Structure 1
Amino acid sequence: MEKFLPIGSIVLLKGGQKKVMIYGRKQIDRKTKKEWDYAACIYPEGNIDSNYSYLFNHEQIDTIFFTGYQDAEELEFNRLWQGLGKDENVDC
């Protein structure tokens, strides 16, 4: 993956009918222990409860409607995560 979408990004997942808003990245499912690229809630309703939260990977995104806020801190986050697979000495 080139880089993570920022928090607040709004996307439609493949096969989905409702947009979701990303509120977390590099999330782990408590039940399966599987790591996912993103956690999201339905848009525009927001985080109603855990039944309306979605974990998914970048390749499951069909359409990006809005890219969330990006500043120097966000860009550094992405730089560090991109480097983790290449350089194990990167300290987050």
Structure 2
Amino acid sequence: MSKKIVNPPRLQGLSRLRVRPKREKNTIPCGQEMAALLGCWQNHGGQTDTAQCANLVAALENCMKTTHRKTKSENTINYHLARLGKLL
């Protein structure tokens, strides 16, 4: 003899299910190249067109061309928990 559950049990006291994502270190892409270039400009009187800083400008441009930004995935755990919360 099997019983059908008419009303499934609900979680008590939880109005919304949510998981906090892990915090990632905020790393600045090309940060070292940018700092080196700004330091070079500061050492040469603030002139941005000096020949001494040309190799640092090229290094920064190369880094910015090769670095790609991360895209956030669409279906996160919070999305699935929200869907589960609607069913409960």
Instruction: State the TM bucket, normalised to the shorter chain.
Output: under 0.3
TM normalised by structure 2 equals: 0.21
Q: Hey, which of these two has a bigger chunk of strand by percent? A: 1
Q: Which has the larger radius of gyration?
A: 2
TM normalised by structure 1 equals: 0.20
Q: Hey, which of these two has a bigger chunk of helix by percent? A: 2
Greater RCO, CA 8 A, separation 6+: 2
